[in-house]
Structures are given as C-alpha cells and as structure tokens.
Amino acid sequence: MSDITSQSLFELTSNIKEKKLSSEEITKAFIDRAKNSKKLNVYVTDNFEKAIDQSKKFDSNPNFDLKLPGIPIAVKDLFCTNGVRTTAGSKILNNFVPTYESTVTQNLWSQGAILLGKLNCDEFAMGSSNETSFFGNVQNPVGENLVPGGSSGGSSAAVAANLTPVTIGTDTGGSIRQPASFTGTVGLKPTYGSCSRYGIVAFASSLDQAGPMTKNVRDCSMLLEVISSFDQKDSTSIDYKRNYYSKELSKDIKGKKIGIPKEYRVDNMPDEIEQLWKNGILYAKDCGAEIIDISLPHTNYALPTYYIVAPAEASSNLARYDGVKYGFRSPGQNLIEMYEKTRSEGFGDEVKRRIMIGTYVLSSGYYDAYYLKAQKVRQLIKKDFDDAFSKVDAILTPSTPSSAFKIGEKTNDPVSMYLNDIFTVPINLAGLPGISIPAGKDKNNYPLGLQVIGKPFDEQNILNISYALEDKINFKNDISDWWLSE
C-alpha cells in the first residue's frame, strides 16, 4: 500500500471499506502531514482535534454504504461551516463563526466525510493567485515562491501537496479551473444551478458555483455526485435529474464531436500552450472523437463583460459587511464614520477595487453604458456557445494562457492578473460546466491544463472526455515535498 496521503479518494474509500485502513489512521496521516506543511500556508483554520474525534466515532460505528465513508476533507474557507470559523480570506470576517452549514458541505458530511479544516483563498474569492488573502499567500507545492492560482489557491495546493484527498472550491471566473491547472490537479466548475449556493459567502451571485478539486477525474466524478443537489434554499438551484457521475464514468468517447474554437488562439500565447492544445486534439482523435473547428465570435468581450458583471454584483453582495451585525467593526463617532473605518480597514485592496468598479458601473448615468451593455454581451456570449453546441458535444481549450507565475509577479498589475482568466471566464458567463485536467508541463516543468467545456447539465460527457484524455496523457506531477519541515 502506498503512503496514505498520496492515495486517491477512490483508493482511500476502498481501503476503508475493505477495512485495510481506519478513518482515524487516514485522518491522522493528513493531519500529521499538514503539521509539517505550514510553509505552504494552506490552512486558515484547522479542525484537527474535532476531525480525529469524528474519525474515531466513524470507526466505532462505520457505515460503508456512504460515498465518502470516514474520509477527511478540507474545504475552501468560503463555505460556511457550523461552529467552525469562516473568513472568506478577509479580515472583515476574521472572527466570524457561522451557526449554519452550507448545503454543499452538508452534502459531504451526510455522505460520511469529516471536516479537516478551512483552506486559504483570495479575499472573497477575488483574485487569481491567492495573494489577496488576509491570511497571506499560499505556496504552490509545484515550486517554491510560485502561486497556486486562485481564488481556490489553498484548495489546489492542498490537493497537490496531499494535504487533503479531495477538496471543494468555488469558481466565479475560473477560481477552480485556473488553480487546478497551476497545480497539476483536476478541477470542475459545474453548470450554474447544479450545486446550491446556500451558505457559500457570495462573490458574484449569477456566476458563483461550487465544484470538486481532485487528483484525478474519477475522484472528481464521485465528489460531484455528492455535492450536486437541488436545494429549495437557493432560488437559482435547478431541479433536474443528476447522474451517478462516478458509476456512469466511461472512457468510451468514440464519435463524440469536440469543437476547437479559433478565438482561443490568443496573441502572445506561449508555444508550449499551443503545443499542449495540439496534443490534446491528437489524443481526442486517438480516442475516436471527431474534431470540428468552431467559432465563438464574442470571446474577446468576455473578460471586459466579466469585469463589469462580477464587480457589480460583488459591490452589492459585500454591502452587508458593514460592522453592524457580525464580523469586524472599527468604532466611529457616528454611523457613517463606523462604516468608513470598518470597510476601509476590513477589506483589502483588490476587494475595494472591485467594490469601486461595481459601484461605478451601476451608478445612474453609467448603468446603461456598462452594466446593461455587459448583460447584453453576456447574452451574445451565451448564444455563441448555444450555436456551437448545435454542432459539437464539447469544446476543448487550454485552461489558462500561462503556467503558474512567481509570487509578487503580478500583484501590481491587476489587468495582467485578470488576463489569467481569459479562457475560463466565458464559461461562467454562459453558465456552462467546464473541467480542467492536467495535460502537460512547460519548460520549467510547471503543470499546464486543458479545459473541456460542456453543454448545460452535461457534466457526465465532459467527465467522460476528461477521463479518456487523462488516460492518454498519463500526467505525473513531480512534487518534491520541498516544503516539509521534517
């Protein structure tokens, strides 16, 4: 048996069911490794003591019918967890302990999983490098002083570094897929409405989706199966028949039509990304898929559209952090002064920047020119995909225009930071499912990802295509455990 923490979810589950490993052994193994991995800074809050108690409790009365029997899992600190501090990576929620549980995490616990702790992320999920977190940046286990991507950077690093078997992140413009790509892991953003947003600290309500982040596609299919559910507490949750994604997982993609959008061949795209994409196309052909050139003509407008819609919603969603009811408060002589001090001191620069942008684009006199126009363009982007999906079953693109960059490299250049999401943002705007799988490495040996985009509710199809490609690509992350303190 290989080292516990390097096992996949599937392996761990089998070992538990076959009683080769106990939940307590597994939980302790991850905790021990976490204790030696402080340098990565993945945890904002750990739940280690309670996790061990819960693992013992599981072992004393195990239920092997559950999908995640006694499996310890750390989650992004954007999910509200009952009795466990939830910060969203922000000072303004530094002391906030929810009395309720998000639907998605509840789905994990209902299937036997155990909370290991809360993982670092960009403040309010706003960022692409995990550098906007109030709790400091996260190291990418792939290489020292490399960003793990963002906003689910603590999550991607934790999976890649074997600090949690799997995790869940949230993806508003690429916050699951980009960090997955940067760390050589698998990340899936489901169709908007697949996973409940109840209990997830909101960034941009019309774009936010929770999704699985795993070491491989099979684990990803299982985790999606667990977290996706219709929820009446979220009015945008959609009531449709969900697949048993893990059971129905298949490498047979013969005859599947896969679209290659020409607009994703952007200027100055590194050759190695171009090559990665070509390889992906070849592998897909090898698997019997049919490759079809397609056009998504409004792709160029996706990023500007996103940077109007998302900040607009965020500016309103974050109004509730005002120091009145919970969270951080900086006292003032009067209400206005208290607001100003609380929000000036409680929010970081990137969050403030987006609140300012959002407030601006919704202001009277600018609303039509920005917000309304962006909504119209969003419809056009969606229509591009609708048209494309009348010809193809899925679309294959690179996940990101580059590999992971150095910590600090882009912190003073927000626009170049935003450009990281150029391939992932359109998928959120259109509400589609998209998955990033590790597909190769660049000249520095840093991982690169490919993205498979599907029709609404067609997660099974993109999982199957990814499963087939994964097999052909046979990616191996070589992570040296350079950060371990022992």
Contact residues toward other proteins (CB under 8 A) are: 79-80, 86, 88, 93, 96, 98-100, 102, 197-202, 204-206, 232-236, 312-313, 315-316, 318-320, 322, 324-326, 335, 339, 359, 362-364, 367, 371
CA distance 305 to 7: 41
The angle at the Cα of 179, spanning 279 to 224, to the nearest 5 degrees, equals 90
Whose Cβ is closer to other proteins: residue 15's or residue 205's?
205
Q: Which of 23, 129, 133, 175 is catalytic?
A: 175
Whose Cβ is closer to other proteins: residue 333's or residue 474's?
333
Whose Cβ is closer to other proteins: residue 69's or residue 327's?
327
Residues in the chain: 486
- Tell me whether residue 189 is one of the annotated catalytic residues: no
Angle of the 217-227 helix axis to the 459-473 helix axis, nearest 10: 160
* Strand order through the sheet with 434-441: 167-171, 209-214, 186-189, 434-441, 447-454, 394-398, 257-261, 290-294
Q: How far is the CB of 227 from other proteins (least distance, A)?
A: 15
- Tell me whether residue 455 is one of the annotated catalytic residues: no
* Strand order through the sheet with 72-76: 43-46, 114-119, 72-76
Give the chain as a 3 state SS string. CCCHHHCCHHHHHHHHHCCCCCHHHHHHHHHHHHHCCHHHCCEEEECHHHHHHHHHHHHHCCCCCCCCCCCEEEEECCECECCECCCCCCHHHCCCCCCCCCHHHHHHHHCCCEEEEEECCCHHHCCCCCCCCCCCCCCCCCCCCECCCCCCHHHHHHHHCCCCCCEEEEECCCCCHHHHHHHCCEEEECCCCCCCCCCECCCCCCCCEEEEEECCHHHHHHHHHHHCCCCCCCCCCCCCCCCCCCCCCCCCCCCCEEEEEHHHCCCCCCHHHHHHHHHHHHHHHHCCCEEEEECCCCHHHHHHHHHHHHHHHHHHHHHHCCCCCCCCCCCCCCHHHHHHHHHHHHCCHHHHHHHHHHHHHHCCCCCHHHHHHHHHHHHHHHHHHHHHCCCCCEEEEECCCCCCCECCCCCCCHHHHHHHHCCCHHHHHHCCCEEEEEEEECCCCCEEEEEEEECCCCHHHHHHHHHHHHHHHCCCCCCCCCCCCC
Are 226 and 167 within 8 A, CB to CB? no
Q: How far is the CB of 252 from other proteins (least distance, A)?
A: 37
Whose Cβ is closer to other proteins: residue 102's or residue 151's?
102
Q: Which of 23, 90, 129, 151 is catalytic?
A: 151
CA distance 253 to 217: 15
Q: How far is the CB of 317 from other proteins (least distance, A)?
A: 9
- Tell me whether residue 19 is one of the annotated catalytic residues: no
Q: How far is the CB of 201 from other proteins (least distance, A)?
A: 5
Q: Which residues are catalytic?
A: 76, 151, 175
